[in-house]
Each structure stands twice: as structure tokens, then as C-alpha cells.
Amino acid sequence: MNLRLPSFLIIGAQKCGTTWLHHQLSSHPEIYLPKGKDHEFFSFTSSPEDYQIKAWSERYTNAQPQDLIGDATASYFWSRLSRPWHIQPEKFNPDIPKSVSTVLGEKTKIIIILRNPAERAISAYLHHISMRSLTPAWDIFSAPANLGLLTIGFYGRHLKNWLTRFPAESIYVERRSIKRFHQDILSDVCSFLNVATHAFENSEQVVYRGMPRLINAEGVWLRLQDINDLSVIQRALPMTQINGEQYVRVIHPAEIDRLKQLYRKDQLLLDQLLDDHPSAM
């Protein structure tokens, strides 16, 4: 089939800035990205048939002949881990890196944007509360595993899976835990994609703010008015009043410390992989 398909993918991680990156790259004159992200084509399709690929290619029919085509789905980075507690959504593709390599080829450029994994887990937890797919009745450690709140943050293991299917030179990893100007990040991404450096307007703007929260030394707090139904919560949640508004603590400082400890070993693996594959930076 002679179809126009992506030459690069933004694959995650979830809650790490993929919406911002998709928004910014969409304004580049040499790049075409469909307006909607998270199409999930490979998430539930391990061996797509020709007709499925053809239907998928229709997302890119508005691209100009000279455009570099990309797409973004933040769940693609979430590869399977060999752990009994690691549960992905039902019928989730067990080997997305293999499927992407088979359909698009190993020269497809892969962009991964990361942040502190504990912060990512907290952001994902609050996101699911805001979307009503989770309530504060669940603490962050007991929430359903198939939401990926904890397992998506094992960046080292997920990157290792992608490196089994793609050469390091095809993978760009941006670690937002290392503070950099957004324009510098975008310039590096342009260089990786071999397109001209672009003066992105409002590169520092927040595209998706997420659920309002307050984070301090006493934990993570949500406004009472943003919680759908406090009556269903069967665990003790302290409350406080700040600037005339009631806040409920949904994450205890000890849970934050536990998250940091959870990811410590995997962060060392990530460091080692990036040291061993410097072209993936």
C-alpha cells in the first residue's frame, strides 16, 4: 500500500506534557499533526490488517506533500512489565513497540517526554478524579491497576522495551525533571526531526492545567467543591480552609515519600540506559 503514514510519534508518557508538545509542533510550518491526539491506533491493535491501516491513514489526508507527518498517543509508552501487579486495560496491546516497528518501520522517530515519576503519578491520580473515573475513596496506591497510575512511571523499564525494537538514534527522550526553557526543548525536538528551528509563540504557556490542587508540606489537597461526592469516601480525609474555601487532603506526605522510593531503582535504570544510548537524549 502506498499510504501516507506518520514519520514520527509522540508516545508519552501520560501526564508529562504530550498535549503541550503536540500543540506546539502543530504550529510548525513543516509538520503536520492531526488536531486530535490519543487516537490509540496501536493501543488495542497488535497486528492491524491492511484495511485498518488504510482507515488510519485517513487521519493524514490533509497533510501537504512536503509535510513531515506525526501523531501523538500518550499511552504508547506504557509497555508491558513482567510483574504480577501490572495490569493493563482489557485487550491492551502487549507489545506496542513491535506493532509500531512492523507497521511504520524502525526508522520511525519516537519522541518521549518525561517528568518526575512521583509527580506524574500524582497528576494522573488527580486527572482520573477530575474525569470521574476515580474518586478519592481510593488512595493512590489502592486505585485500580489498569489505570496505570503507578506502572506508567517505571520509565526505565518501558524505555528498555522500546529500545529492543528501535535503535537509540530513532528515539528522543526529554526529561522535564531537568529544568529547561520550553523553547530549548522545542529546538532540540526540531533538530531531532530534521526540520528547521521554529520561533514557537507562547511556548511557555500551559495548554492543559488539569485539576486545581494545592501541594504543600502537609500533602496534596483538592477543593471540596471539585470532589463529586464526598459521602462515598470511606477513609479519613483531613480538611482545612484556605482563602475562604474548603480543601480536602487526598495524598498524605508519607505517600509522596513512598512514591519516590518506589521509583528510585527504576530511575537508576533510566539513567543507565540514557548513558549507554546517548543518541536517545
pLDDT at 127: 93
Q: 244: which DSSP letter?
A: T
Specify whether the CB–CB gap between 77 and 153 falls below 8 A. no
Summarize pLDDT for 195-246 with one digit per residue, the tens: 998 888 787 777 777 788 999 999 999 998 888 666 667 788 888 888 888 8
* Sheet with 245-251, side-by-side order of all strands: 214-216, 219-223, 245-251, 239-242
d(CA 62, CA 65): 9
pLDDT at 17: 92
Phi, psi for 44 (deg, rounded to 5): -130, 15
Please identify every stretch of the chain with a pLDDT value under 70, giving residue numbers as ranges.
Answer: 1, 84-85, 177-179, 228-232, 279-281
Q: What is the residue-averaged pLDDT of the chain?
A: 91
pLDDT at 225: 85
Rounded to two decimals, the pTM is: 0.93
pLDDT at 3: 87
Q: 89: which DSSP letter?
A: P
CATH architecture assignment, domain 8-209+264-280: 3-Layer(aba) Sandwich (3.40)
Summarize pLDDT for 134-147 with one digit per residue, the tens: 888 899 999 999 99
**CA 140 from centroid of its chain's CA atoms:** 18
Specify whether the CB–CB gap between 25 and 198 falls below 8 A. no
